[in-house]
Amino acid sequence: MNAWTPALLLLTLVACPKQAPVAAPPVVTEAPRTPPVRANPLLTRSPRPYALPPLHELVNSDFLPAFEAGMAEQAAEVAAIAENPEPATFENTIVALERSGATLTRTQKAFGALNSSFSNDELQAIDEEMAPRIAAHDDAIKMNGKLFARIDALFQKRETLGLDPESAQLLARTHATFVRSGAQLGPTEKVALAAINGELSTLSTSFEQHVRRVMKDNGVVVESLAELEGLSPEEIGAASVAATARGLEGKWLITLQNTTTQPVLGELSNRALRERIFRASTERAQGGADDNTAIIVRTVELRAQKAKLLGYPTYAAYALADETASTPANVDAILSRLGAAAVKKAKKEAADLQKIIDAQAKATRTPRFELQPWDWAFYAEQDRKARFDFDEAQVKPYFELNRVLIDGAFYSATALYGITFVEQTGLPTYDPSVRVFEVFNADGSSVGLLLLDYFQRDNKQGGAWMEALVDQSHLLGQKPVIINNLNVPAPAPGQPVLLTFDEVTTLFHELGHGLHGLFADTNYPSLSGTATPPDFVEYPSQFNEMWASEPIVLANYAKHYQTGEPMPKALFDRVVAASNFGGGYGTLEYLAAARIDLAWHELGVGQAPAADGVLAFEAEVLKKSGMAFAPVPPRYHSTYFSHVFTIGYESAYYAYIWSEVLARDTGAWFHANGGLTRKNGDVYRAKILSRGRTAEPSVLFADFYGKAPEVGPLLEYRGL
Catalytic residues: 510
Backbone angles phi, psi at 641, to 5 degrees: -90, 75
In whole angstroms, what is the distance from residue 474 CA to residue 394 CA?
Answer: 48
Residue 612: other Cβ atoms inside 10 A: 11
Please list, in sequence order, all residues whose beta carbon lies within 8 angstroms of the beta carbon of residue 306, skipping any fewer than 6 positions away.
193, 196, 197, 200, 315, 318
For residue 461, which of 122, 57, 112 has the smallest C-alpha distance?
Answer: 112
In whole angstroms, what is the distance from residue 667 CA to residue 241 CA?
Answer: 40
Strand partners, 479: none
In whole angstroms, what is the distance from residue 596 CA to residue 639 CA?
Answer: 12
Helix axes 655-672, 583-601, angle to 10 degrees: 140
Strand partners, 483: 451, 467
For residue 599, which of 654, 655, 535 has the smallest C-alpha distance?
Answer: 654
Residue 313: other Cβ atoms inside 10 A: 14
In whole angstroms, what is the distance from residue 335 CA to residue 342 CA?
Answer: 10
Q: What angle do CA 680, 681, 682 make, to 5 degrees?
A: 90
In whole angstroms, what is the distance from residue 483 CA to residue 452 CA?
Answer: 6
In whole angstroms, what is the distance from residue 504 CA to residue 679 CA?
Answer: 26
Give the amino acid at 28.
Answer: V
Give the amino acid at 570.
Answer: A
Please list, in sequence order, all residues whose beta carbon lies within 8 angstroms of the beta carbon of residue 45, skipping any fewer than 6 positions away.
51, 102, 106
Buried b / exposed e over 261-270, threshold 16 CB at 10 Å, is bbbbbbbbeb
Q: Which helix (H) or strand (E) holds 221?
A: strand 220-222
Beta strands in 409-527 (DSSP E): 420-423, 435-440, 446-455, 465-470, 481-488
Contact 90, 154 (CB under 8 A): yes
Beta-sheet strand order (sheet of 420-423):
420-423, 435-440, 446-455, 481-488, 465-470
Residue 676: other Cβ atoms inside 10 A: 18
Contact 443, 545 (CB under 8 A): no
Backbone angles phi, psi at 253, to 5 degrees: -125, 120
> 674 vs 123, 356, 412, 417, 668, CA distance in Å?
50, 42, 14, 15, 10
Q: Which helix (H) or strand (E) holds 199?
A: helix 187-217
